[in-house]
Each structure stands twice: as structure tokens, then as C-alpha cells.
Chains A and B, each alone.
Chain A
Amino acid sequence: MLGNLFAGFYQFADVFAFLVLSAAGLAIIFGMMGVINMAHGEFVMCGVYVTAASYHAGLPLPLAQACGTAVAFLIGMVLEAVVIRPLYTRPLDSLLVTWGLSLVVTQGTLVLVGSTFPGIGTPLGGFRVGDYTFSAYRMVLFAAAIGVLGFVWFLFLRTRFGIQARAVMQNPGMAQALGVRRNRVYALSFGVGAGLAGFCGALYAPTMSLIPTMGSSFIVESFVTVVVGGSSVLLGTAPAAVALAVIRTGLNAWYGQIIGQIGLLVAVILIIRVLPDGFTGWLTRRTA
């Protein structure tokens, strides 16, 4: 009995962690900044590859994961300044540019690193509850997902940078007039989004097969979660991840992975139909 209850929670936690971690970076870049970042999967892949390379170079895994996150953060900052910044008023062009970037990065990785990369191996082993054994690392992923939500809450609601960032997103001209350095805020926000994507990759690096196109396995879930969530990470992405994880876990358990995936997408269509601004719009209206 306990085993089955825990198994249910574990399945939910696993899907929830995947949705939150893969969507958090995109929620900031796409949800808050309004840039449709088609290269999101490649930031994830960057986190994976840097983590794996640092690990194979001899760093302990947590440090290697920090490297993966940091590199994605820095690359995000640079890209924002060089490529994204001129395109804030041209959302369709930024879509095209980031899509082009993703193609260049995928092919570049294929050419430079090769079509495969040696894996790491999942740390921490397994544990047993009732009839089932589970991977302990999956619980770390769940904790990390909660941690990411906490980090985003703290960064955007409890720091000076957060206030400036929200001001810039709402009204860049006014914020600048009040002395906020707009470009720095944009660069940092984009960097944080890219860094969170890299963090997602760093966390999943030990659990997956590494190939240059692996970023695409995060793309559907991340966009779906952000679209259902709306523009806010805390009022949008988090509740969206809970709702979608419940739907997917239930369907996976009772009808298998195919129905789980179909059900997830049908649920998304229905939710967007009923809540055009996602969970953010709905929750904001109720609390306002």
C-alpha cells in the first residue's frame, strides 16, 4: 500500500521535475521577455555537453554541473548583446534568428564533437519502498525543481535586480527614464533564462544518451508548460507543471506512454481555449 502510494508520488514528482526544469529558462526568456527562443533546446544541450566534458576531465559531478550552468549563462548573456538585442521589437525575426542559431549549434556540435558523446552514469543508486525500487537521483531532480522555483521567486520578487527586471519588462522606456540600465537588465535576464536551461541539461546529463539533437527532447514539454502557464514563472509555470504532471502521470499509469503524450497535448489545447492567458492570467484575475 505504502509502496503504491509512494510510487504514485514518485511518478508525479518525476514528470513535474521534468516539466519545471525544462520550462523554467524558457518561462523567463519567452514568458517574461517575449522572445520566442527556438534555441532553448540547444542551451539545454550546452549544459549537458559542458557537464559531461567537465566530468570526463576529472571534475566531481556537482562541480561539473555548475560549469554546465555557468557556461550556458555566459553564452546567453553574450548572445543577447550580440544577436537578440536589436530584435526586441521584431519578435518574428528573433524567432527566425534563434531557430537559425539552434541549427548552427546542433550541426556545429555534430561536426566538432561527433555524433555521440560518452555518458556519465547516474549517481546515488537506488532505494526500495514496498515492492518497487527507485532511483535516488530522481528525488534530487524533484528537489532541484522546487529549488529552481524558490530561486526564481527570490530573484524576481526579493532582489533589487528583480524589481528592475519586472519594471523593464512592463515598460522599458519608463524604467530607463528612472535610471534603470535597461540593456544590463535584458542581458542578465536572458542569461538567467539560458543558465536555467543549462542547469536543466546539467541535471539530466547523467540520465540520458548524449547526442547533438538531444535538446529537442525537452522542447515540446518546455513550450507546452510555458504556454499553459503564461508569462509568470511562479503563478504560471509552477501551477501549469502541477496540472500537466497530474494529467500525464495518470494517463501514463493507466493507458501507457502514447495516451499520456496525446492526453498532455489535448489538455494543453483545452486549457489555452479556456484560459487564453494561461494560468498566470487566471490566477492574477482571481487575486486582483
Chain B
Amino acid sequence: MNRRDLLLGTAGASLAAALPRTGQAAGPPIKIGLLEDISGDLASIGLPKLHGTQMAVDEVNATGGILGRKLELIHLDPQGDNARYQEFTRRLLQRDKVDVLIGGITSASREAVRPIVGRQNAFYIYTNQYEGGVCDANMLSVGAVPEQQLSTLLPWMVERFGKRVYTVAADYNFGHLSSAWGKSIMKPLGVEFVGEEFIPLGVSQFAQTIQNIQRAKPDWLYMLDVGAAQSSFYEQKNAAGVRLPMASPVKIMLGFEHKRFPAGVMKDMYAAANWFEELDTPEAKAFVARWRAKYPDEVYINDMGYNAWVAIMLYKQLAEKAKSTKLADLRGAMADGTLGVDAPEGRIVIDPKSQHCSHRMRLISVDGENKIKIEKDFGDIQPFWLGQVGCNLLQSNPREQYTPDNLPRR
């Protein structure tokens, strides 16, 4: 035995001694199927999601796994292609027989996956912030939804900057639905929508849009652009000398434009976030330190990556309370509405009626030096909208996505 083996041996022994006695290998590993884009157009925001899941799996395994069973992560890269999302979903559920399916970036990919999950009656966790409204007992949503991101941010913007709003949105379900959300939240406040543009995905040239904005003279911009090509808008708008405040549910904490673009381009962008790397609570700093030790080259730990970590921790709580990985047992474990995790942002609790999560929301802004400032702390915000309009998964499972324009029939 040489010195290195000896060291490793002692380290292993002390680690083993520190572990709770949950019994050795009480069963086969729990399989986690993960679908995240780490190539293709959305690779930059998908990679932190893979890292967040990997880190959580390693942390859970280091403390004995779940119910004494190790976690086994099976990651496939759908490259942003919805057909591949469907193919890989079938493969993970039918061939690999994973216990839980996690992932998907765009709302289009989520909607591609959901019907297959429903037919297999599997358990699926979606870890992004999104336009909200999915009432589906097979899905747990971990990210923030409009009542958390938009009902907080938009009224604040109206009060601070004014009532003339111009919307620039990506032309697919996320853009259209978030735009509809903006209207339903801001119309009662007397907001005048002086312009609204839907931009096809992949468009990178914005001279006409910039001119339309100048003609409409808005007080601020409601930005719902998606993808790297469309985010060229900010550089071009800035070069044309248009300086307006902006609000978005997908910039900064998600796309980390303030880490990628030169200083000044994202100046006066406002967003409501449950997580951003600059969050300066002790828990958040410890989380960032652990992440950066594991992935030193990470450009930015975005909210989706953080949510991916939270998803595994929630799953651990659910499975341990249920003493099972079956969907019905997991749903039973969340039914009393108290199950949650103490995450770096604060405590996150699952709402059993909608299977969405509460979040501690903070309003952040970017200054001319690409620095983040916390403008306001909204405290814990419940995902109340689905329950309000009549989604109650404890009673029925419609597997629908509701919107302000498409409410459930009472």
C-alpha cells in the first residue's frame, strides 16, 4: 500500500463514518433521465442546467443517495430539436425505464415532451421559468411563473417609468403567451401599448424594429426575445442611440447578457428573479463557491442551472417522504402543501394544486458597468394563478396549458 492509497483509504473511511446509516445499497440505483441542450443554439444556457443536475446528483450520492439507493444520471442532448426531444423521451421512458424525467428548455420542447410523459404516466420535472399555466399531474414545475416574475416586475416598471409600453417578442408560444400576460397585468393599470412586434426565431437584424420603437416613443420596452440571434437587438439598439429602460423575464439571470455583451448594452434592463449568481446571502455564496469549485469555467450560474439543482433536491425530499418513486406516492407526499427544500434563495414549497413552486423573488437591474443591483425584495410569492382559475390537480388532471385567453371551463 503506498501513501496515496493510504490517504484515499482514510478519506473514504472518514467519509463513510460521517454518512447517515441508511443501509448499504438498499436497491438498484434510481435512474434520472435528463434532456438538456448542450449543443445547438441554446447550448450556452443549457450547459449550466446539466452542471446543476450533475452537482446535485453528486451531492445526494455523497450523502447516501435517496432511500439508500444511489442516483444514476442518464443525460441525452436533444440539440434544441423538438423531434429529438420526443425520440429521447420515448427512449428514456421505455428503454432505460428512468424513474423521473427532467429537462427541456423552450416551451416548445416542453409541450413536445408532455404528451408522451402523459401516455406513459411518468413523472416529469420542468426546471425553467416559463409562461405558466400548465395544469398536469405528471409534471412538476420548478421555475418561476408569470405571477412571480411579471405580476411583480411589470407594475413596478409602470410606476417607475410610465404607461407607454412597446413589446418585442419572439414569434412562438412563449413570446405570444408572455405578451398576453403583459396585457392582462398592465391593462388594468391604464397602460397604453404603443407597439407590439413578433420576431421570427433566428432573425438577427433589427434596424426596422429600432426605427418603429423610435416612432412610437414608448416609456420602456417589454422584451420577450429568445435565442442568441435575437439578442443581437440590444447591441444594435444601443448603436442606434436608443436608450430606454427595459423589462424581461428571460434576460440577465437566464441569458447572462451582462456577462457576454460589452458594458452599456444591457444598461437599464430590469428583471424579477428567484436566482442570480450575484445574490449575496450566505447560503447563495456557499452554493456559488461549491459550483465554481466543481465547474471553474462556468460563464454564469443562471437561474435554470440553479433550478435544475433544486429539482433534484425536491425529488429527494419527495421520494424520502413517500418512501417510493412511484408517481402516485410522490404526489401523495406533496399533497399537504408543506413539502419543500431550504434552497439558497430561501425556502421553496410545492403547491399541490398546480404542482408549481413558491419562490423568493427579487427585482434586479443592470447598470452601465454590467453590474447587478437588487432594486427590491418581493419576499415569497406563491404560484397562485392556476389555483385561482380553477386548476386543482388533487381533484382532476386535465393535462392542459391555460392562458389568460384560454381559461378552464368552470
Residues of A within 8 A of B (CB): 7, 10-11, 14-15, 18, 107, 110, 114-122, 124-128, 131-135, 137-138, 206-214, 216-217, 249, 252-253, 256-258, 260-261
The yes or no answer to B204 lying at the interface (CB within 8 A) is: yes
Cα separation A217 to B297 with both chains bound (whole Å): 27
Given contacts A11-B207, A132-B211, contact A116 B44 (CB under 8 A): yes
Cα separation A71 to B385 with both chains bound (whole Å): 55
- Asked if B205 and A14 sit within 8 Å, CB to CB, the answer is yes
A217 surroundings in chain B (CB, below 8 A): 202-204, 229
B132 CB, nearest partner CB in chain A, Å: 24
Q: Which partner residue on chain A sits nearest B45 by CB separation?
A: A115
Binds A, one of B183-191, B260-268, B325-333: B260-268
Cα separation A146 to B257 with both chains bound (whole Å): 33
- Asked if B205 and A209 sit within 8 Å, CB to CB, the answer is no
A37 CB, nearest partner CB in chain B, Å: 20
Given contacts A115-B43, A217-B229, A257-B197, contact A209 B299 (CB under 8 A): no
- Asked if B232 and A138 sit within 8 Å, CB to CB, the answer is no
- Asked if B235 and A207 sit within 8 Å, CB to CB, the answer is yes
A-facing mask of B203-233, CB < 8 A → 1, else 0?
Answer: 1110111010011000000000000110110
Residues of B within 8 A of A (CB): 38-41, 43-44, 47, 171, 197-200, 202-205, 207-209, 211, 214-215, 228-229, 231-232, 235-236, 238-242, 257, 259-262, 264-265, 297, 299
A164 CB, nearest partner CB in chain B, Å: 37
B370 CB, nearest partner CB in chain A, Å: 11
A51 CB, nearest partner CB in chain B, Å: 14
Contact of A133 among B47, B197, B209, B242 (CB under 8 A): B242
- Asked if B215 and A131 sit within 8 Å, CB to CB, the answer is yes
Contact of A11 among B211, B228, B232 (CB under 8 A): B211
Cα separation A260 to B299 with both chains bound (whole Å): 36
A69 CB, nearest partner CB in chain B, Å: 20
Given contacts A115-B43, A256-B198, contact A211 B207 (CB under 8 A): no
Cα separation A115 to B45 with both chains bound (whole Å): 8
B261 surroundings in chain A (CB, below 8 A): 118-119, 121, 209
- Asked if B204 and A126 sit within 8 Å, CB to CB, the answer is no
A18 surroundings in chain B (CB, below 8 A): 205
The 5 A-B residue pairs with the shortest CB-CB distance in the complex, in nearest-first order: A126-B241, A121-B262, A122-B239, A135-B239, A115-B44
The residue among B209, B231, B260 with the most chain A CB atoms within 10 A of its own CB is B260
Given contacts A132-B214, A211-B41, contact A261 B200 (CB under 8 A): yes
15 A-B contact pairs sorted by A residue (CB < 8 Å): A14-B205, A15-B205, A18-B205, A114-B299, A119-B235, A121-B261, A122-B236, A131-B214, A133-B214, A135-B236, A211-B228, A214-B229, A257-B203, A260-B208, A261-B200
- Asked if B198 and A138 sit within 8 Å, CB to CB, the answer is no
- Asked if B239 and A207 sit within 8 Å, CB to CB, the answer is yes
Cα separation A256 to B260 with both chains bound (whole Å): 28
- Asked if A110 and B202 sit within 8 Å, CB to CB, the answer is no
Given contacts A18-B205, A116-B260, A207-B235, contact A135 B240 (CB under 8 A): yes
- Asked if B215 and A119 sit within 8 Å, CB to CB, the answer is no
Q: Which partner residue on chain B sits nearest A12 by CB separation?
A: B207
Contact of A252 among B208, B228, B257, B260 (CB under 8 A): B208
A210 surroundings in chain B (CB, below 8 A): 228, 260
A11 surroundings in chain B (CB, below 8 A): 207-208, 211
Cα separation A267 to B336 with both chains bound (whole Å): 60
B239 surroundings in chain A (CB, below 8 A): 122, 124-126, 135, 137-138, 207
Given contacts A211-B44, A212-B43, A213-B40, contact A258 B171 (CB under 8 A): yes
Q: Which partner residue on chain A sits nearest B209 by CB separation?
A: A257
Contacts A132-B214, A209-B231 supplied; 6 other A-B pairs, CB < 8 Å: A15-B207, A116-B260, A119-B262, A122-B238, A217-B204, A258-B171
B267 CB, nearest partner CB in chain A, Å: 12
Cα separation A122 to B262 with both chains bound (whole Å): 9
A189 CB, nearest partner CB in chain B, Å: 28
Cα separation A234 to B49 with both chains bound (whole Å): 49
- Asked if A110 and B43 sit within 8 Å, CB to CB, the answer is yes
The residue among B214, B235, B239 with the most chain A CB atoms within 10 A of its own CB is B239
Given contacts A125-B241, A209-B232, A212-B43, contact A138 B260 (CB under 8 A): no
A119 surroundings in chain B (CB, below 8 A): 235, 260-262, 265
Cα separation A225 to B257 with both chains bound (whole Å): 32
Q: Which partner residue on chain B sits nearest A257 by CB separation?
A: B199
B43 surroundings in chain A (CB, below 8 A): 110, 115, 211-213
Q: Which partner residue on chain B sits nearest A211 by CB separation?
A: B228
A193 CB, nearest partner CB in chain B, Å: 22
The residue among A117, A132, A214, A216 with the most chain B CB atoms within 10 A of its own CB is A132
Q: Which partner residue on chain A sits nearest B203 by CB separation?
A: A257
Given contacts A11-B207, A11-B211, A257-B209, contact A107 B39 (CB under 8 A): yes
Contact of A208 among B202, B232, B262 (CB under 8 A): B232
B41 surroundings in chain A (CB, below 8 A): 211, 213
B198 surroundings in chain A (CB, below 8 A): 256-258
- Asked if B211 and A209 sit within 8 Å, CB to CB, the answer is no
Contact of B299 among A14, A116, A122, A256 (CB under 8 A): A116
- Asked if B228 and A209 sit within 8 Å, CB to CB, the answer is yes
The residue among A116, A128, A133, A137 with the most chain B CB atoms within 10 A of its own CB is A116
Cα separation A210 to B40 with both chains bound (whole Å): 13
A207 surroundings in chain B (CB, below 8 A): 232, 235-236, 239
